[in-house]
A and B are shown apart, each in its own frame.
Chain A
Amino acid sequence: MNGSAIAASGLRKAYKDKTVLDGIDLDVRTGTIFALLGPNGAGKTTTVNVLTTLLAPDAGKVVVAGHDVSTEARAVRAAIGVTGQFASVDNLLTGEENLLMMADLLRLPRAEGRRIAGRLLDRFDLVEAAGKLAASYSGGMRRKLDLAMTLVGNPQIIFLDEPTTGLDPRSRRTMWQIIRELVADGTTIFLTTQYLEEADELAGRIAVLDRGRLVAEGTADELKRGVPGSHIRLRFADRHELDVAARVLHGSTRDDEELTLRVPGDGGVRSLRALLDRLDAQSVEVEELSVHTPDLDDVFLALTGHGNLNDQENPDDHENKEVGAR
């Protein structure tokens, strides 16, 4: 079953002399979640547009659901569903009318359209709001409705461009849950995100996009493994203890102000025990011990050499963000 749902090679796209995609290769297996992770302006939306037939690349080949995007756009469109970066629901229609409009455009019989709309409203907990204008919906409800509209056609492959940007933490979790359920049903999901946590949480495979290039690809663990930064942090009660510990633990870095010692290591049980035995032998008391594995933030820093994702976020995005659940 695990064939290739999306296969792209050598994708290039430039606007005038600005290169936006600089040779992208992707391979997404059927029935998995794939995350394209990158900061604002990395080229995520452009990639989605190319993969979904909306934009012709300058070079490269894309096969989606077994069909070439440039020559069999129609067959590709029949197999995919796309939820864009901005919720494109019709504000002056009710939630239900939005769904029925999709059913009409897909030329489904009336009764079937109603049945599907009813089921989706129920599934996304929008039954109560079904008869209200979408203009009155909260950000989270709009995203849900937007995704429900994409699902009316029962697509095999779903593209989600930043599905949770601007959502409060609770709505974000709901959206994650919905995405997990979709993939459990056998759907393939290609999502883009600026959030490391989101990619880590949802995706089987992650590709890191930076300025139009893929700088890494793999599972979250693979990405983390390739990055230095796994270490054990020890904190001591006083300067003397710190001095002794620093002397016996080779390769460690000390912080005199914090009275901490950073010891490289993977935090496995055996090496941890060995380390504590060495300290015991010198009768050094450890106040506090913590094991640090690199998170995707470290990965991003290591891969791109230019910092945390959020440093690059567009100021506009902060305005959109709703205040978290209280």
Chain B
Amino acid sequence: MLKIENLNVHYGGIHALRGVNMHIEQGKIISLIGANGAGKSTTLRSIMGLVPKSDGKVIYKGEDITTTPTIKIVKGGISLTPEGRKVFPDLTVKENLLLGAYLRKNKAEIQKDLEWVYELFPRLLEREWQIAATLSGGEQQMLAVGRSLMSRPQLLMMDEPSLGLAPIIVKGIFDIIKQINEAGVSVLLIEQNAKAALEISDYAYVLETGTVVLEGPGKELITNDEVKKAYLGA
């Protein structure tokens, strides 16, 4: 569904991505793990067209989207839940969710998805009219994920959705990721919580200083010695 070939990104003089190759298959959960500063967020942001690529190609459903503007990529069905939630603080919960559906026209369908998101996150329904800035961190994260879902993505990319959340809520988020995936959405997940991510992933990539150093089915990587040492703290 999404193919990344030899992706290179420079921030001024910093060579952040050095030829990343990845393949996200339709209907799968793929995770991307790596140390701080490895280039995980940069990979997702450059797929979305937020960061210019200095070399390489991104192919989505057979189409070259390397230089496609962000708005068209969103329209094409890719959604990014950005690192650090990034909810719109002075808008209400409902307005934030509706912004997720900004490019959609069919009111009835939007309403249906709104109800679906409220079903996934009942807390958001209780707080429908609350200003996003006043939500707790976990609630903001739910809102960020819900907002991404409102675009009805075919590929959902999540940048550290469990960051700063209590273990019980993290578990809830992972359950929901599975649920979203079962609803037919392909998922590309960045996680610090490597064990939990690898457990639910069909396939995973390990990124180190801008290059993929290891890849394989999630269950295999969990037992890999290098991964254990570097990311699972074992």
> Is chain B found bound to chain A in the same assembly?
no
Footprint of B on A, CB under 8 Å? none
